[in-house]
Amino acid sequence: MERLNIICIDDQQNVLYTLQRDLTFFQSDLNLSFCESASEACQVIEELSAAGQYIAVVICDHIMPEKNGIDFLIELKEEERFSAVKTVLLTGLATHQDTIRAINQAHIDRYIEKPWNGKHLVDTIKTLITEFIFKVGLDYVKYAPYLDEKIVLERLHNPNIYSNRND
Amino acid sequence: MNLQIQNPPYDLDYIRAHYFSGPNGHISVDSGEIIMSQDEFNDRLYLLEKGRLDGYHELDGERIKLFTVEPEMFVGVHSFFSGTFKSGATVVAREPSVLCYIRFQSIDKAKRSQQFYKDFMPVVVHELFYRTLYLQQATLEKRDTLNQLIRNEKLASLGQMAAGIAHELNNALAVLARNTDWLCSKFNDIVSIKDKHEQNLSSHALLYGRSLSTRDTRSLYKQLEKNTNYNRASIQKLSEMNVCVNEEADYFTPDYIEKLYFKWQVATTLHDMAVSSNQASQVIRSMHILGSEPRKKVDQVSIRETINEALTLIHPQCKGINLQLDANSDAKIQANRSELVQIWTNLITNACQSLRNANITDPDISIRLFRRKSTFIVEIMDNGPGIPDDLLPHIFEPHVTTKVDGLSFGLGLGLSIVEKLLSFYNGSIDVQSKPGKTKFSVKLAL
């Protein structure tokens, strides 16, 4: 059975646990994975991909030892098989230059500053999951409680907006 | 300021012999006596034999020191050789002195042409060179003093602001800290003593928080998935709590696991709150130091002991780092123990963090305490990446930090606090840094 995965990456454990608490809403039907480094995230993503699972959303910190978040996201998006993945940069410390790279090279979908607002985060993830589902062409009915209703309605009125299939 | 130019480029004996060996060209002066006054007539070239003189420029009633004259140096060079015969400076004897001199007219007319100037040219140039050097040095010293003053000003005003903020936050933080402690103590009351799982899990979580890495959590999850029949939600909770279940021995219902997990989460949350409020209090205490006055030093304190105490305090942060202490002096100084401990704590913590952030393979911190005459020196050296040259002059300023590890409670105040505390002891600190070796040297007077 296909599973949607949300991957969270931050070198601070307490940030990860706080994220976990905020994302409890998604816990029942989606998989949440927590990683303390970009390399750990790479491993997890590889394993999940190999098992045929979807990587729907990646939430990533920027400042981390070894590889930083933006570099990781750039590399992630360079791969064709992850082109549909929705990415969120969650950070308290990014320079102007970093942000430009994040947008232009990593093509991030959202930038959220730390400290973040819990509800805002959940709403953002809902929207991104909805976009992902429609982009990849999955059955959205199954994920109804986790979706952004506005987008679903738009999609019903205009089916070609979010699909990337050539009909 | 001691400026002595060795080996002047002229033969003093020759000049003495040819020009200064006449009978009447000697004077003795007492300290404070004026040899010549600025802008007044002077046709004498003096050679100082014994004593010391100071040359001043008078400007708007203020005396600015231009040069010092040591034995075997010349005085009156400007007025003598410029042809103005007007003294450019006021020359005063600092000590009782003996000078010999020649008057311009007394120089043989023949000599006064080529030979005279040839003989004295090096003297004049040398004299000018010396004076330029003297002024340069004075300027440099003034600039350093000015920088120090500016730094002190900044520190003072930041200190005041910090103290103000600290004061505002003190109450709120005290409430936070005390209430968190109370909650932690009451938590144990709501944990069932009959249920040993709940007991063990929750009390461990309260004391140590969550200690399992995400990687280990994930492998435990896979293990439980393979070896047990629990559902996904239960396995996720069990793996987070680091509970290895032996399914024959204990069987947990999903509801029970849910209950355990809930209490465990509360415990870890309380733990994290306690840690955070402690750290916040520590920051406030540090900020308070920045704006404080020296406290009376109450004890005779062993420096070595304070270093050891600091090492104990920050032991958890230094895990994996090779720490060496070489303290062959058990000397004591009049001090406040906690202030010294704070100094070492800040410096060693900085070293640990720098090593950790750069992921140094064989991290090393070595601490040396030794005595040199009436000074105690503590050197803290690490083999980290070092401090960049452009940052080095600023590291003692508040808020300069290269620490970018997300939750840095240090606020970059560490070194300015160290400096402030050292000022209570008339101590000093300096740093040498290059990639692979950074050394902070703290000096404390006996």
Q: What is the pLDDT of residue B126?
A: 86
pLDDT (average), residues B47-72:
88
CA distance B287 to chain A (A): 23
Q: Indicate yes or no: CB of A63 within 8 angstroms of CB of B405.
A: yes
Q: Are B406 and A15 an interchain contact pair (Cβ–Cβ within 8 Å)? A: yes
Chain A residues with CB inside 8 Å of B405's CB?
11-12, 63, 65
On the question of pLDDT at B407 being above 50, the answer is no
pLDDT of residue A68 exceeding 60, the answer is yes
Q: Please tell me the predicted confidence (pLDDT) of residue A132.
A: 94
Categorize the per-residue pLDDT at B248 as very low, low, confident or very high, splitting at 50, 70 and 90.
low
Q: Is B210's CB within 8 Å of A13's CB?
A: yes
More confident residue, B81 or A162: B81
Q: In the numeric block, which tokens belong to residue B57? A: 């420029």
Cβ–Cβ contact B213 with A under 8 A: yes
B316 touching chain A per CB within 8 A: no
B286 or B74, higher pLDDT = B74
Nearest chain B residue to A94 by CA: give it.
Answer: B404
Select from B214, B218, B359 the Cβ nearest to the Cβ of A65: B359
pLDDT at B413: 67
Q: At what angle do helices B114-190 and B414-424 cross, to 10 degrees?
A: 110
Give the distance from residue B345's alpha carbon to the nearest chain A alpha carbon, in angstroms.
23
The C-alpha of B220 sits at a distance from chain A's nearest C-alpha, in angstroms, of: 13
Measured between CB atoms, does B268 come within 8 Å of chain A? yes
Q: Does B217 touch chain A if contact means CB atoms closer than 8 Å?
A: yes
Q: CB–CB of B406 and A12 under 8 A? A: yes
Asked if pLDDT for residue B250 goes beyond 80, the answer is: no
Q: Which is higher by pLDDT, B397 or A151?
A: A151
Tell me the chain A residues in contact with residue B359 when contact means C-beta distances shorter than 8 Å: 65-66
Residue B109 has pLDDT above 70, yes or no: no
pLDDT at A72 > cutoff 70: yes
- Assess A35–B contact: CB distance below 8 Å, yes or no: yes
Q: Token pair of B175, please?
A: 């409430």
- Both structure tokens of B294: 């020296």
> Nearest CA of chain B to the CA of A82: how many Å?
22
**Which chain B residues are within 8 Å of A18, Cβ to Cβ?**
none
Q: Is A115 on the interface with B (CB under 8 A)?
A: no
Q: Is the pLDDT of residue B71 over 80?
A: yes
pLDDT value, residue A109: 95
Mean pLDDT of B56-80: 86
CB contact under 8 A, A65 and B405: yes
Q: Which of A16, A63, A66 sits opposite B214 (nearest CB)?
A: A16
Binned at pLDDT 50, 70 and 90, residue A1 comes out as low
% of chain A beyond a pLDDT of 90: 59
Mean pLDDT to the nearest integer, B45-74: 88
Of the candidates A15, A17, A40, the beta carbon closest to that of B215 is on A40
Task: Provide the mean pLDDT of chain B.
Answer: 84
* Chain A hits for B261, Cβ within 8 Å: none
Chain A hits for B268, CB-CB cut-off 8 Å, are 17
Q: Which pLDDT score is estimated for B112?
A: 63
Is A163 near chain B, with CB under 8 Å? no
Contact B336, B366 (CB under 8 A): no
pLDDT band at A11 (very low <50, low <70, confident <90, very high): confident
Contact with chain B for residue A57, Cβ under 8 A: no
d(CA B115, CA B113): 6
Using a CB–CB cutoff of 8 Å, tell me whether B60 touches chain A.
Answer: no
Judging contacts by C-beta atoms under 8 Å, the chain B residues touching residue A61 are 406
- How near does any CA of chain A get to the CA of B191, in Å? 22
Interface contact A98, partner B, CB < 8 A: no
From B163's Cα to the closest Cα of chain A, the distance in A is 26
Return d(Cα A140, Cα A58) in angstroms, integer. 20
Residue in A14, A34, A92 nearest the CB of B214: A34
Selection from A10-24, B13-27, B189-203, B387-401 with the highest mean pLDDT: A10-24
**Do B406 and A61 make contact, defined as CB atoms within 8 angstroms?**
yes
Q: CA of A162, closest CA in chain B: separation in Å?
A: 32
Better pLDDT: B44 or B294? B44
- Give the tens place of pLDDT for each residue, B318-339: 778 888 999 887 888 888 888 8
CA-to-CA distance for B16 and A166, rounded, in angstroms? 106
Q: Picking from A66-75, B279-288, B330-339, B370-379, which range would have the lowest pLDDT averaged per residue?
A: B279-288
Residues of chain B numbered 99-128 and touching chain A (CB < 8 Å): none
pLDDT at residue number B399: 63
pLDDT value at B245 more than 80: no
Residue A166 pLDDT class (50, 70, 90 cuts): very low
With beta carbons under 8 A apart, name residues in chain A contacting B357. Answer: 65
Provide the pLDDT confidence category of residue B144 given band limits of 50, 70 and 90.
confident
3-class DSSP string for B4-58:
CCCCCCCCHHHHHHHHCCCCCCEEEECCCCEEECCCCECCEEEEEEECCEEEEEE
Residue contact A66–B359, C-beta within 8 A: yes
- In the prediction, which pLDDT does B196 show? 83
Write down the pLDDT at residue A167.
Answer: 41
Q: Whole-angstrom Cα distance, residue A121 to residue A91?
A: 13
Asked if residue B4 has pLDDT above 70, the reply is no
A134-151 mean pLDDT: 88
Contact B359 A17 (CB under 8 A): no
Complete DSSP assignment for B300-358: EEEHHHHHHHHHHHTGGGGTTSEEEEEE----EEEE-HHHHHHHHHHHHHHHHHHHHHT
Sheet holding B437-445, edge to edge: B322-327, B364-372, B375-382, B437-445, B428-434
Residue A20: the pLDDT is 92
Q: Is the confidence at residue A165, as pLDDT, over 70?
A: no
Task: Report, in angstroms and rounded to the nearest whole number, the Rg of chain A calculated over CA atoms.
Answer: 15
pLDDT in tens, B15-51: 888 888 877 788 899 999 999 998 899 989 999 999 9
B408: confidence class by pLDDT, cuts 50, 70, 90: very low
Compute the residue count for chain B. 446
* Bigger pLDDT: B279 vs B431: B431
